[in-house]
Structure formats: C-alpha cells, structure tokens
Structure 1
C-alpha cells in the first residue's frame, strides 16, 4: 500500500474514533446536565433536555433503519441478523453500532497491505452514512440543546461550570460536523480535491461565526419570551417544511420516510443553510439568508420593546453588537473561501464515490452510496469539459 494512502486511512480512522468519542461525551454531558437540573429543582429544564435528546435519538434510529433496509442485499455481510438490528435500533443503539461498524471497517482496511477496491469503497460507504447521521444529530439535538442552555444562562443570570463546558463543546461540535459533512460530500466526487488544512480552518471558522448570531438571537428570544418560542419555531418550521416540499426532494426510499427527511431539513434550515435540490443554489441560499436575517431583526425589535437589560446586568446592545460582528466576519470569511480557497470542481458521473481516486472496477461491483451522491450533485456544480476556476462556481453547501 502506498505510504500516502496508508497515512490518509490512518487519519480517517483517528477522526472516526474522535467522532465516536465526542458523541459519547456529548451524550454523557446531556444526561449530566439533566440530572443537575433535577437536583436543583428545575424539572422543566431537565424535561426539555431529555425530550430533545429523545426526539433526536429516535430520528437517528429511523434514518439508520430505513437506510439499512434500502441498501442492496448482501452489502453488509458481517452485520447481525434483521431481528438483532431491529433490537439495536429499538434500544437507540443503531447510530452507535454504525460508528463501531465504520471503525471496524476502517481498521480492517488500514491493516491490510493491499486492501481490495471493494473494502475501500465499503469503508467510504459507511463513513458517508455516519457523516450524514452526525449532521442530523447536530441540528436535531446539539444545536437546540445549545440554544436551550444559552437561554437558561441568560434567563437565570448565572452559568454553572457544566453549562459553560457544554456551550463551548457544542459550538465546536456543530462546526466540526459541518466541516466533516462537507468533506464527506467531496469523497463522492473523486475528481474534486479534498479540503486542505488552510481551507478547512477557514471553512470551520465561517460556519462557527455565522451560526453564532442565529443561535444567540433564538436564545435571547427564548430567555425573554419563553412562552412564545415554541410558537415561533413551529411557525417558521412549517414555512420551511413547505419550502422543502416545493423543491420536490427524493432522498429517502419511501414516501413516509421522505417526510422524515423533509422535517429534519426544515429543522436544519431554521438555524443554517442546507441545499436539497439540484441546480444553481446561489439564489436559494441568498433568499434563505435574508429570511433568517429578517426573522432575527424582528426578534431584536421584540427585545427592544420589552427590555434592554439582561438579568446579569449586561445590556442587550452589547450582545447585539457581538452578534453583528460575528455575522459580518463570518460572511466575509465565507466569501473569501469561495473566492480563493474553494478547490476546483469537476464532475465525472462515471466514477463511483470514494476519496481514493478513480477505481478500475465496474460501477455495479462496488458499493455506491447513492444517497450522498445525490446530495453531492446538489451541493457542487456540474462542470462539463473543463474544471471550474476557484471562485467562479456557485456558492453551494452548508452555511
């Protein structure tokens, strides 16, 4: 095995281990926070933490189960029988099982002197599904939990040490999930270079900086108007769900499971941009950005009509200024990324997914993650005949 390939496989394995450990730490932190709320007598806060955790977990298990049922027969030769898999998902262990399965396959490939093309493609197949599930978990559980913790801190006027740790780890985890997902999409396009270190850092930073103002706006609204935040979320969520439905998504294997995907995407769109339709996305991304910006401005107006100070004595104008600085800095970094750091895009549909370059076997002989291939078509422009110059393509991907 070439040294470069072995090094790449090693780092993929390390990142897989770190991702699994981070998931377990995040789960433990949520359960710890819930127990602390119960001990301090804040039963509603504990119930909200557990409710968000439970709903996200159920959604992840459903996605994992639907995908396994839709995968070609015999693809997952080493997995347990159908009944055991159903039991694992019923016990909310399906996602963790997938993480362990991906680590097992990655270790198997890394230890082989000359891994087969099938083993390499199968490792990519598993990694792509895990990355997608991690993104879903991020916006169904981590981001709402972060918003809830920020609202509790702003409302109570004090922050416990476990809350501060949770806030910091959540921001890093969310940005990491976005970066990991973006890198995973590129493995579906062998001719599209992977993100380099500098590009990865900039991509990580602008996602972090653009997400912070939105989370802060919702958290402040929740702290000042706790009785109305659910109505606000449901109202915007229904509008976003209708928008996703209008774009005619066809991601899941069945009509009922497709609505689960649309509902999840609508939740992501409440906080960030996510492309679900093929074609030029600059216009849709701009409309979504202006929509969220307008909604955040309305929340700012609502703050000004009720109060200008937080329980901590911090003026709202200070937080508003910090949010504006982060927003414009993140927007500038994003524009700089797509202008100078975005690798060239070149679509070659006759190649299968995988970050290891073109493979000589026929398409039907290798595992092909059609789910992520479809999203890759949506997220990256199709260039025919020549490679697009950096900065000339559409601004696609997750915001």
Structure 2
C-alpha cells in the first residue's frame, strides 16, 4: 500500500535525523579510539586513525564546495555569505551544514498542510547530495577505519571495549550508506518503485555480507604483512582508477574535480561495486566481483603459504571459513533480492500519491539534482524516464 504524502515525509525526516546521528556517533567512536590509542602509547595507530579521518573529511568538503559553486546562485537562497560557506568547509563543517540544511527543509515541508512541489523538490535535491556525500565518507573513512581496527585486533589478539563500539558503528554505517544511496537513485527517477521494508532488509543484509569478507581479507593481510598493505592498495587502486577513466565519467562540473571523483570511485571499487557509466551494468558488476574475488584468493594463498598463524597466535584457517560462508550467503541473498524482492518484480507502482509528471512543464522548472540523476540513469539504463529527462545530454547543473 503506498505511503500517504505526510507519512512519507515524516519517514524521510526521521531517516535524515538517524543518518546524521549515525555520522556523529561514528565520528565520536573514531575520535574516542584515537584518544585511547594515545593514552596507551600506541601513537602510530592513533596517527593512522586521524589520518584516515582527516583525508576523508577534506575530500567531503571539496565535493560539497565544488557542488555549491556549480549550482545556480539563487537555488539555495537564503544562504550564508560565500566567505562564511568557505569558512565552514575550511573548518570541515560543510557536510554537517548540509545535514542541518536538509533537516530544516524536510521539517518545513512536513509542517505544510499541502506541501508545495518546489519545497518537496528542493528537499529531495538536498537529501540526494547528502546521500552521495555519506557514501563517499563511508568508503573513504569508515571502511578503511574498520579494516584498520580489525587488523589491530588480529595482530594484538585482544579487543578493547571502544574497538567493539567502532566495529559495530562502522558496519551499520556502511550498510546504511549503501541502502540510502540505492534509495536515493530511485528518488531521482519517479517511475522507479521505492524499496519496501522486506526488500530494504535483504538489500541491507546482502551488502553487509558481501562487504564483510573483503574487509576481513584486507584486515588479515594488514595484520600479517603490515609493510605491504599500502603497496597492495596502491597497485589495485591504480588499476581501478584506469578502469574508471576508460568508462568516461562525467559527474563533476570541471575536469580537475572529475579526477577527485574518479579517485574516490576507485577507492570504493577496492571494497565494493559502484556503477559509474551507462551500459551493461550486470556484466561490469560480474567482472568487478570476479576481480575482487581473484585478488582475495591470491591474498589467502599468500597467508597460508607464508604464515598459517596470526601474530597473536590465532590459527589463520579458523577465520577463512567465516569469510567464505558470509560471501556465499551474501550471494544467495543478492540472488533472492534481484529474483523476487527487487521493485521491478512488482507490476504495481509504489510511489507516493501525487507524483509529479516527468513531461510536465511545471516539473521541468523544479530543482533537479542532475548529478544524482545522471548516476541513476547509469544504474537503471532501461528506465522509461530516460526519454523524458530534460537534461539528457546537457552539462550537469540545475534548471
């Protein structure tokens, strides 16, 4: 049964609050862990945690700032002066500012008895950018942090309470970001049905189960060969960056910032699948899956032939079946999702009542997040929205 407009708006507002809270909790857990490492004299571990946190934050601020500069000047009115916005991003507060802005717009729309199309479209515009930034932060900071924590635990043979907090928040944050990003893609294309509760749960689980073995493999490699993990990442990252470049991405407003996007996507592909271009998505996803699986198998062979024991004395072969079972279960759930639970398996629409007509002039005059819409077109190349999209073939921006 479709959601009523106000119920759907309230749901989106609650999800926005939870997403912002999850980001703050994960940030607090990382800072807490870094402080504990300093207090215990493990300065290298603390430096690595803070370095990953800092690099991811800088990348997020750059994305946010470039997007704001590329948007029409009157789109986000009222806004703080340009210098204030620049200062917010320089102080690494640009993402939080966007979250506050999105929550304020969502609350404004929810409070309206009959929400205006413009306010609803602008709320979607903001939430789509926030979703994309959250995904970038997840794979630039949360996933590497999780890998680092697991490597530290495997090497030391003990788990501190603050490390448990970091592991739990990281896993939930990663899966949440993947699910939220997939929902955001469907918001861009109104003819695409939204995910139901059961579909969302299965989508959440199979992403978690497929990501966990990859993170475990890299963490084990880091624990056994800490001097070579950076070389391994750099080698694969360059290959993946070349692959992304070959696909001719056109996401950012200028060539310089496009390379920032490509570098970020290559980092995501090191851990998980991410589609960046139109074409046969299933074929590219299969190639990527086989590539990561082959790389993981090579690392497993390296462990077994060089050191069957972890530095902490744990038998390495005890951990391998865990990753294998999770990987197979993730594949099964992924198959179940796409065969029976995917929204395309349903004939009836699952949209909120009053969805705007894509072909209407009024719809074309509303704020459109072309950045995310282009990614949605890449992810759903056969959608019937394609012919109706007024920006198809134009430069990224807003009407």
Question: TM-score, normalization: structure 2?
Answer: 0.92
Q: Which runs of 5+ in 1 are unaligned?
A: 347-352, 386-399
> Does 2:62 align with 1:62?
yes
Aligned partner of residue 114 in structure 1, secondary structure: coil
> 1: CA distance between counterparts of 2:192 and 2:304?
47
Q: C-alpha distance in 2, partners of 1:81/1:164?
A: 42
Report if aligned partners of 2:153, 2:159 keep a CA contact under 8 Å in 1. yes
| Deviation of the 1:314 alpha carbon | 3.0
Report the secondary structure of 2:343's partner residue.
coil
Q: Is residue 190–residue 355 contact of structure 1 (8 Å, CA) maintained in 2?
A: no
1:396 corresponds to: none
Structure 1 residues 67, 256: closer, same or farther in 2, change over 3 A? same
CA gap of 1:3–1:374, structure 2 versus 1, over 3 A, is: closer
- In structure 2, the gaps of 5 or more residues are 386-399
Which residue of structure 2 lines up, in the alignment, with residue 301 of structure 1? Answer: 301
Name the CA shift for 1:356/1:214 in 2 (closer, same or farther; >3 Å): farther
2:208 & 2:313 partners in 1: Cα distance?
Answer: 26
Give a deviation string over 1:122-168, Cα, whole Å, max 9, x none. Answer: 00000000000000000000000000000000000101001011111
**Paired positions, count:** 378
Match of 2:376 in 1: 376
Alignment match, 2:219: 219
Two-structure CA RMSD over aligned residues (Å): 1.8
**2:282 aligns to what?**
282
Tell me the SS of whatever aligns to 2:76: coil
- Give the C-alpha shift of residue 15 in structure 1: 0.8
Aligned equivalents of 1:355, 1:307: Cα separation in 2: 60
User: Partners of 1:83 and 1:313 in 2: how far apart?
Assistant: 55
**Any conservation in 1 of the 2:202–2:337 contact (CA below 8 Å)?**
yes
Match of 1:357 among 355, 359, 366: 355
**Runs of 4+, deviation exceeding 4 Å:** 353-356
Contact 1:345 1:382 in 2 (8 A): no
- Over 3 Å counting, the alpha-carbon distance change for 1:105 and 1:23 in structure 2 is same
Secondary structure of the corresponding residue to residue 139 of structure 1: helix
Describe the shift of the 1:383–1:9 C-alpha distance in structure 2 as closer, same or farther (beyond 3 A): closer
- Using the size of structure 1 for normalisation, the TM-score is 0.92
User: For residue 392 of structure 2, what is the aligned residue in structure 1?
Assistant: none
Which residue does 2:326 correspond to in 1? 326
1:362 to partner: Cα distance: 2.6
Aligned-partner Cα distance in 2 for 1:78–1:110: 19
Compute the displacement of 1:312 (Å): 4.3
Q: Is the contact between residue 221 and residue 299 of structure 2 (CA under 8 Å) also seen in structure 1?
A: yes
Match of 1:251 in 2: 251
Aligned to 2:79: 79
Matches of 1:345 and 1:121, distance apart in 2: 27
1:121 maps to 121
Contact 1:61–1:94 at 8 Å: present in 2 too? yes
> Matches of 1:149 and 1:355 in 2, distance apart?
46
Q: Indicate conservation of the 8 Å contact 1:154/1:220, yes or no.
A: yes
